[in-house]
Amino acid sequence: MAGLRLCVPISGRGSNLGALIAACADPQFPARIELVISNKASAAGLALAERAGIPTRVFDHRAYSKRSDFDREMTRVMEDMQIELICLAGFMRLLSDEFCDHWRDRMINIHPSLLPSFKGLDVQQAAIDAGVRFSGCTVHYVRKEMDTGPIVVQAAVPVRTADTAETLAQRILVEEHKIYPQAVRLIAEGQVHIRGERAILIDHKMPANALINPLPNG
């Protein structure tokens, strides 16, 4: 099956890109990665794409005098390739308002916290410092304001007493690799509808039980 045409922008190792590549390797998965782009030629994730036979492009942001010019060039290339959904995966560049508006409801991101809590960077340490009992990750549609937009899928991860930012991040990353392909599948299958600033899901299952941390005695 042809599937939804994806572009995955990265800046680093491409951990979530790898999860999406693995998902798309299934002939029944309803999406295909048509292009991987990066603002860094040294990004390790580019090699993942090349090994999978996926076209790559590097847009060195330092070569553009304005952020909007950088974004317009990316848009031009993606439109030429008929990209239908952008899946940001560790793309460490702020996107212009023009870019976000152009790709509104056609661009998603994965963030390592339970949004709307803990936006921005260093979120695992922020969660530990706040004393929350759960952290996690969120796949959401992108808006002009950082780390906002309709939420598609979330995974909750308990925060343990002995956790460091690194150990918590490692456990969250495992869940990121599960929910990013899940979110793409939901979108590709037409199960996600945007109403205002909510993503409404159809034909899906919800957990029946609440989670408690720490577990009750007995």
Residues with catalytic roles: 111
**Positions of E strands within 50-144:** 56-58, 85-88, 107-111, 134-141
Strands 4-10 and 85-88: parallel
User: Is residue 55 reached through a cis peptide bond, with omega within 30 degrees of 0 on the bond before it?
Assistant: no
**Distance of alpha carbon 133 from alpha carbon 209, whole angstroms:** 17
Residues 6+ apart with CB under 8 A from 25: 52
Single out the residue of 194, 207, 213, 104 nearest to residue 154, CA to CA: 207
CA distance 157 to 37: 30
Taking the C-alpha atoms of residue 75 and residue 71, their distance in angstroms, rounded to an integer, is 6
174, 114 in Cβ contact below 8 A?
Answer: no
Q: Is the peptide bond before 214 cis (omega within 30 degrees of 0)?
A: yes
83: exposed, middle or buried (Cβ count in 10 Å: 0-12, 13-18, 19+): buried
